[in-house]
Structure 1
C-alpha cells in the first residue's frame, strides 16, 4: 500500500488516520480578519489544514463569462450574492500580500496552510510560501500544462476528480508522473453544491483504491457530516470539507459548508471511525478475554449427584460463570463416575471425576 508523506509530520495511505482539510476557499469574503477567525476556528476544531483558493480576476474566467453575469444573484434577494460576477471576484480574491500574511498566521498558530492555484503564477507564489502540497481543482483535471508546472516542484499533489471519467483521471496522473512526480493523492469528488445522495457514489472510493496505486480521499460538497464520515469508513485518508463560521453569511459556498460544530464532529468521529476499523485479522482483545469468565457458561449439576454415580445428559446444565468446564466439553463427562457428592446447581471440575 503506497504511503504519501503529505507534510513533515504526516503520511497518509488508504485507511490511515484521516488528514482533515478545512476548505475556506473564498468564505473569507475578502476580509483578512474573517480569514484569521476561520483559521482560528479550524484549528480549535482539530483540522490538520486550512485551504484557500489562489486566483485573480484573470485566472479563470474569460471576458465572455463576466459579460454574461452582470447580475449575479442567487434568487434569494441578493442575500448570498451581490452585483456582477466581476464585482464579487474583485472583492473576494486574495492578494499576494494576503497570502503571505495568512501563511505566516497559520505557521504561528500551528496549522497547515495550503491553497488551490489556478495559474502558473499562483503555483509559483504558493511554492515560495512553502506549502506542503498543491491541491488541484476538479476543473483542471485536463489542464495538463498547469499539472506539469505543479509537478515540477516535486511536492505532493492532491488531485480532485469531480466531473471526470476514469480515462481523464488516468491521463492526469500520467501527466504528473511523466513530469517526474509520483506523490499523488486522489480525491473522489462530485462537483455539485450540494449533490444528490444518489449521485455521490461513495463506492467509487473502493473502486479507485483498486484501480490506482495511490491513496484515495474524498472532497465533500454534501450538507452535514454523515457523508464524509461514511467515506472514512471506506478508507478515505484525506477529507476536504468547505468551512464557514455562519452558513447564512453572504458569499458563494457558506450554505454548503460545515460550521464549527460540524467540523469538530468530522474530526472527532472521523478519528474514532478510523481507530474502530482496526484490523482484518480476527483478534480477541484482552478486555474481551477478561469478559469470558463472566459472560460465558460452564457445566453445572442439574440436580444433586452422589459419589460413584455415572453421569448422564440429564444430570448436567450450563450456566454462568464461564470459569469451569466449557459447554462444548460436556460430552466428555457423559459416562464418567463421580468422586464425591455434589449439590444441585454447582460448577463441576475435572477433578470431580475418576
Structure 2
C-alpha cells in the first residue's frame, strides 16, 4: 500500500480518536532506512513527573540507549499521534485508544503495560464538597475537565453516564473541557469547571488540601485493571529488534523496582531525576507518589487489558463484531517476565 505522508497520518489518527473507527487496510508508517543505526529513543512526557522509561534509564536498565526528550504531552491520543507520524519512538496511551488506532489499520504494537488503576492509583471524578452533583444525572449541563479528547477520562465518564441510564442526547449535554491535569484542581476550586478528574499524585494532593469529594472512580466500574501501555510502531520494531527488546526489558525491570522499593527511596530517586534533567520543573507532586497501578509482574500484558474496550466499541457500533482478535493486539515478545505467572 502507498505510504501516507505525515499530514495524512495525523489526520487519520485525529479522525479515529475523535469519531468512529475506520476499518481499512494496514498502513505503513515510515520509509524504511535499515542503514540508520538507532541508539536514541525520542519521547514526550509530563512536566513534574517521572515516567517509567526515565526511571529505567536512571537505574541503568536501558544499557546504551539514550532517551531523547522532545517535549511535553497532554495525553495518550497526542502521544499516539506523534508516534504514528514518526516524531517519537514510543508512546503511552489508554488501551481503548490503542484499540481504535489498531482497528483503523495503523500498525502500532503495545509492548509493555504503562499504567493502571487500583486502590492507590485510580481515576476519580471529583467535585467541591458543597457541590449539588451527586449522581450521573447531575452531570447534565455541567463542565467536566479531561486531559484530552478521546482518552481514558472521556471514555470512563461516558461509560459511567451510559451505565446509569443517560441517553446519548443527554450525554452530549455534558460539556468536556480539555485542561492539563495539573491545572484541573485550581480550575475546580475557582469555579471554572464543575467536575475535575484526579488520579494518583494529583488526587492525593487535592485530598490533602481538602474541600473536595469523589462522585465515582473508574475502579468502581471495572475493578483493578491495567489501563494503558507503551506502544511502538511495528516497522520500527522490525528494523530495531534489539533496541525494542532493551527498551521493554528496561521498563519491565523498572516496574518491578517500583514494586519492591520503599516509597521514600522511590521519591528520593524521582526528585533526583527531575533535578538532573534540568527542565525548570517543580517537584511538589513527587511526595504524593502512589505507584503506577500496574500489578502484573513486569508490566506483562494480557487479553483482559484490551478486551473490555473492544467489547465497548462493538456495542457502540464503532467496531464490527470479530473485527479484531484481542490476543494479537499486543506483544509480550520482549518482556523477560512473560513466562512467569501473573
Task: State the TM-score, normalized to the length of structure 1.
Answer: 0.23
Task: Find the structure with the greater CA-based Rg.
Answer: 1
Which structure has more relative contact order (CA 8 Å, sep 6+)? It is 2
Task: State the TM-score, normalized to the length of structure 2.
Answer: 0.24
